[in-house]
């Protein structure tokens, strides 16, 4: 499974949405992505990629696209 597939799967499984909804998805766009859902997403991403996200990056994780940008940082080394 590619990193993009893993990333997409985390969002789909965490929020119970279709992959077609991911491209423009932003924090609080859907009821499931509230503050509790956000922490579930963070935990799932950390598990999927075997990383620990920095607090600043957890706060900055405001959209599907921003998450890819954050995980692509040298700190995490995830390539998409």
**19 touches 8 (CB < 8 A):** yes
What is residue 29's predicted lDDT score, i.e. its pLDDT? 96
Whole-number Å distance between alpha carbons of 27 and 32: 9
Using one digit for the tens of pLDDT, what is the confidence trace for 19-39? 999 999 999 999 999 999 999
**77 touches 70 (CB < 8 A):** no
Does residue 53 lie in a domain region? yes
In the chain, the percentage of residues whose pLDDT exceeds 70 is 100
Using one digit for the tens of pLDDT, what is the confidence trace for 3-15? 999 999 999 999 9
- 63 beta partners: 26
pTM: 0.96
For the chain, give the mean pLDDT: 97
Whole-number Å distance between alpha carbons of 6 and 4: 5
Does residue 77 lie in a domain region? no
What is residue 32's predicted lDDT score, i.e. its pLDDT? 98
State the total domains in the chain. 1
Angle at 25 between CA 19 and CA 27, to 5 degrees: 130
* 36: CATH: 1.10.1200.10
């Amino acid at each position: 499974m590619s990193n993009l597939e893993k990333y997409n799967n985390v969002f789909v499984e965490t929020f119970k949405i279709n992959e077609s909804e991911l491209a423009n998805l932003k924090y609080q766009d859907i009821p499931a992505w509230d503050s509790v859902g956000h922490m579930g997403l963070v935990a799932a991403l950390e598990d999927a990629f075997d990383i620990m996200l920095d607090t600043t990056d957890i706060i900055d994780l405001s959209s599907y696209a921003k998450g890819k940008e954050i995980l692509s940082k040298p700190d995490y080394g995830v390539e998409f």
